[in-house]
Chain A
Amino acid sequence: MKDKKKPNEEKHIKISRRDFVSAAAAAAAFTIVPRHVLGGPRHVPPSEKLNIAGVGVGGRGSSDITALSSENIVALCDVDWKRAGGTFKRYPNAKKYKDFRRMLDEEDKNIDAVVVATPDHVHAVASIAAIKRGKHVYCEKPLTHSVYEARMVAEAAREHKVATQMGNQGQASEETRLLCEYIWGGAIGPVREVHVWTDRPLRGLSDVYWPQGVGRPEDTPSPPDTLDWDLWLGPAPERPYHPSYVPFKWRGWWDFGTGALGDIGCHSIDPIWRALKLKVPLSVEASCTLVNNETYPVASRVTYQFGPRGDMPAVKLHWYDGGMRPPRPDELDDGQQFGTNGTLFVGDRGKMFGYLIIPESRRKEFGKPPQVLDRSPGHHQEWIDACKGGKPAGSNFDHAGPLAEAVLLGNVALRPAIKEKLTRLKLLWDSANLKITNLPEANEFLRCEYRQGWSL
């Protein structure tokens, strides 16, 4: 805690420098000054290794770092040294931190790139701090905790010209490419309706990964010595420690996580986003089980409306979670699993279940679509390449930002405070102005309030 204040001041100084740099860069676009002089990302040729730091390395961050282990892992940060213990051990030469601000401050010169795999509520502050120092960023999905943060992070990355990638690794898959190629190849004609579902937070049909639809615990056990609770909270509103939040179960809590939609939406909506060339939803509405101000509902259905894009017609996107799913299509053969997670495209001339045309007879008839998309060297490798001057990664923040915004906008439509109002309208979205136009009070849920001492 004491340790926290000093870096904060230092950060402030750094941000000012960064702001100056941005202003300078923007004002004099053609000035020929090497980027490193301006504090931008260090030039790392493909023959060299990146120096990577991890923030949040106990859970998913641990596998991200493994996936990047061709590079130098130079620093690791986690507020929970017990959960991070395994990762710390695997990289004995990396410096260990609890506070990412201190790490960025002390290791500024050594770090080229940062992997952010904290709980959702810390994604934005950690990513922006890194971006403003000219670090490349790989950030787990969803990009941020709020729509506003997603916009800010994507803008900052663009401004600072850093290489970015969101942690929705499915975007790099063969399946995602095939899906696009089938849809673009006219496999099912124009698509006006898509369904996408996950059983999360369910784990199977009789267990849960994390609880939703529950209230705040009343007991206040003391945090374990190995956990810095204040840093875990980060920008989130003050509340006492409880094991219901950490590790992992924060996903179900409004203040920390983004529910099943935030957890899975950036994975499973991404292929739809690409195949249907979605940009911004025009409206969103939802229905769900009983919902409170503490946790997300047990199950929900969120429906987005998108306008026409190029030669593609307007399309409705239906999201289901908590075990709900769309009707099993008649085109699916008996015995073929419809899945606890899945995607169903309804086109004018047929249906696709994931990237498979159904029924199978039609799939055979259509054959393979022409290959028009480059294949990926791997999701993490894409980012490494981008950090070394290669082309932007597939889920760079210019792509991932709008996707995450749409996903998170769905959660706004689940907010209990506006539920009654939402029986009379859909939320109309003005993306350019980052505003819900027909229900002003809904706009407060586009961003999260930060605790004193925290800002983007």
Chain B
Amino acid sequence: MKDSVKLDRKQTLTISRRDFMNVAAATAFTIVPRHVLGGPRHVPPSEKLNIAGVGVGGRGAGDLNEVGSENIVALCDVDDKYAAGTFKRYPNAGKYRDFRRMLDKEKNIDAVIVATPDHTHAVVTMAAIKMGKHVYCEKPLAHSIYEVRRVTEAAREAKVATQLGNQGQASEGTRLVCEFIWDGAIGPVREVHSWCNRPISPRGIDRPKETPPVPGTLDWDLWLGPAPERPYHPCYLPFKWRGWWDFGTGVLGDIGCHQLVSIFRALKLGYPTSVEACSSGINSETAPLASIVRYDFPAREGMPAVKLTWYDGGLMPARPQELENGLRFGNADDNLFVGEKGKMLSHRLLPESMSKDYGRPPRVLPRSPGHHKEWINACKGGEPAGSNFDLAGPLTEMVLLGNVALRMGQQLYEKGLKLYYDGPSMKITNLPEANNYISSKYREAWTL
């Protein structure tokens, strides 16, 4: 804690410097080399990036593997035990528990991979961006809509290369979905369904009462980061934080940014105008065991208004008439597009016979060199990655808006409402209390 207070002060200093520089940057034509302003170091494609990882025990380990062509120069995790394997694989990397200290000490970092629990995504990402580091952040981009908006704006301002960890965006399938839809294969789409039965747990339970001691290998205070104080319990980590509202974002937050990205792109979605949700029960501590979240989007660029329905916990829409018997329609995860002229399951036209007649749509989108590679290229001056924050931000905001509706479930029932949403101003316009869930409360000494 002492360490973190000290660093905090330094961070504040850094922020002030950065804020000054943003003002400087606004005078856009001043010819000052970027590195002098503390912006990202110029790394030509022939050189290697110096990458640091924050949260390296779980998904972060996989991300580091994916960028193994570059130099892994520093690693940070609050849980020595969980991170041990990754620490061992990179013996030359500096090891840290506190990302603020790491960013402070390691002057040679070009880029940071953030794969902490959801509740620390924004503070880590923002700190890195403000120091001019490129950022790869695991999905969802942040824990709250407010954080997402701030992080997205900061990245744009600092001109760093960014990528969200929704690797499916780089797939052939995502491109095919867009190309089918844009080619009019199923006509205008007014209805889409997306579902996932991922059994993350715990969900639908209350906070534990017992307070076991914190393992010596874990810095619980740093694990909590900006989240409200509470005693350590093994039901939160590793991984199980996903079901707890203070730390995770439920199945929707976990999977939504993956699974909704093709819908978001193909239908050119932006801010929803309204959202409603129902669930298998409301609990102020954890996400529900099962839920259905419904978004309304207005008409966009030649596309009609569309309703998007998300299901988790095993629920899914009814089997479409067009799907031939014997073909799988499982509850694991999938997307069903309902167009005026036909239906599409993921990127497969229904029925199969229609799929055969239609063939493939014209190829209009460039293919990806790979999701992590996109980011590496962008960090070295290439084109922006496919899920750079300007694209991933609005996607994540939409996803997290669903959780606002879930958490307001009781009131939605009682008051007979959907939540109306004003995207640009990040406001629920017809139920003021709902705005409490647009941002997360930070502990003292933590800010964005």
A positions within 8 Å CB-CB of B: 202, 204-206, 208, 213, 285, 287-291, 297-301, 303, 316, 318, 322-325, 327-328, 332, 334-340, 423-426, 438
Alpha-carbon gap, A56 to B285, bound state (A) = 40
Residue among A204, A289, A332, A338 having the largest count of chain B Cβ atoms under 10 Å:
A289
Minimum CB–CB distance for B255 against chain A, Å: 16
The answer, among B283, B292, B307, for a CB contact under 8 Å with A206, is B283
Of the listed stretches B75-83, B91-99, B121-129, B314-322, name the one at the interface; the rest are far from the partner chain: B314-322
Minimum CB–CB distance for A287 against chain B, Å: 4
Interface string of B315-331 (1 = CB under 8 A from A): 11111000001111111
Alpha-carbon gap, A297 to B294, bound state (A) = 22
Minimum CB–CB distance for A436 against chain B, Å: 13
B326 contacts A298, C-beta separation under 8 Å: no
Q: Is B110 an interface residue (CB 8 A)?
A: no
Q: Is B381 an interface residue (CB 8 A)?
A: no
B318 contacts A298, C-beta separation under 8 Å: no
B281 — which chain A residues lie within 8 A by C-beta?
Answer: 202, 205-206, 208, 323
19 A-B pairs in the complex with CB atoms less than 8 angstroms apart: A205-B282, A205-B413, A206-B410, A287-B316, A287-B331, A290-B199, A299-B280, A299-B315, A303-B318, A324-B292, A327-B294, A327-B307, A337-B413, A337-B414, A337-B415, A340-B413, A423-B330, A424-B326, A438-B325
> Assuming A297-B314, A299-B315, A335-B416, is B279 touching A323 (CB within 8 A)?
yes
A423 contacts B331, C-beta separation under 8 Å: yes
B430 contacts A213, C-beta separation under 8 Å: no
Q: Is B418 an interface residue (CB 8 A)?
A: yes
Alpha-carbon gap, A291 to B316, bound state (A) = 15
> Assuming A205-B282, A289-B280, A323-B279, is B313 touching A299 (CB within 8 A)?
yes
20 further A-B contacts with Cβ under 8 Å, apart from A324-B292, A332-B416, are A204-B410, A205-B409, A206-B410, A208-B281, A287-B314, A287-B316, A287-B317, A288-B314, A290-B314, A298-B204, A298-B290, A301-B316, A322-B280, A323-B290, A324-B278, A328-B418, A334-B416, A335-B415, A337-B414, A426-B319
A316 — which chain B residues lie within 8 A by C-beta?
Answer: 318
Alpha-carbon gap, A64 to B276, bound state (A) = 39
Give the residues from 296 to 318 in chain B that come closer than 8 angstroms, CB to CB, to chain A: 307, 309, 311, 313-318
Alpha-carbon gap, A213 to B201, bound state (A) = 14
Alpha-carbon gap, A328 to B418, bound state (A) = 8
Q: Is B287 an interface residue (CB 8 A)?
A: no
B54 — which chain A residues lie within 8 A by C-beta?
Answer: none
B414 — which chain A residues lie within 8 A by C-beta?
Answer: 337
A318 contacts B278, C-beta separation under 8 Å: no
Minimum CB–CB distance for B354 against chain A, Å: 19
A332 — which chain B residues lie within 8 A by C-beta?
Answer: 416
B276 contacts A327, C-beta separation under 8 Å: yes
Alpha-carbon gap, A287 to B314, bound state (A) = 7
B416 — which chain A residues lie within 8 A by C-beta?
Answer: 332, 334-338
A334 — which chain B residues lie within 8 A by C-beta?
Answer: 416-417, 430
A318 — which chain B residues lie within 8 A by C-beta?
Answer: 318
A205 — which chain B residues lie within 8 A by C-beta?
Answer: 279, 281-282, 409-410, 413
Minimum CB–CB distance for B448 against chain A, Å: 32
Nearest neighbor of A213 in chain B, beta-carbon distance: B289
Alpha-carbon gap, A323 to B278, bound state (A) = 6
Interface string of B411-424 (1 = CB under 8 A from A): 00111111000000
A289 — which chain B residues lie within 8 A by C-beta?
Answer: 280, 289-290, 313-315
B278 contacts A202, C-beta separation under 8 Å: no
Residue among B281, B326, B327 having the largest count of chain A Cβ atoms under 10 Å:
B281
B418 — which chain A residues lie within 8 A by C-beta?
Answer: 328
Minimum CB–CB distance for A451 against chain B, Å: 32
Nearest neighbor of B204 in chain A, beta-carbon distance: A298
B430 — which chain A residues lie within 8 A by C-beta?
Answer: 334
Alpha-carbon gap, A338 to B415, bound state (A) = 9
The answer, among A206, A301, A339, A425, for a CB contact under 8 Å with B326, is A425
Query: Across chains A and B, which 7 residue pairs bring their CB atoms closest together, nearest first?
Result: A303-B318, A337-B416, A205-B282, A423-B330, A289-B314, A299-B280, A287-B316
B279 — which chain A residues lie within 8 A by C-beta?
Answer: 205, 323-324
Residue among B288, B294, B409 having the largest count of chain A Cβ atoms under 10 Å:
B288
Minimum CB–CB distance for A416 against chain B, Å: 11
Alpha-carbon gap, A307 to B174, bound state (A) = 37
A202 — which chain B residues lie within 8 A by C-beta?
Answer: 280-281
B278 — which chain A residues lie within 8 A by C-beta?
Answer: 323-325
Alpha-carbon gap, A424 to B323, bound state (A) = 9
A335 — which chain B residues lie within 8 A by C-beta?
Answer: 415-417
Give the residues from 324 to 345 in chain B that come closer than 8 angstroms, CB to CB, to chain A: 325-331
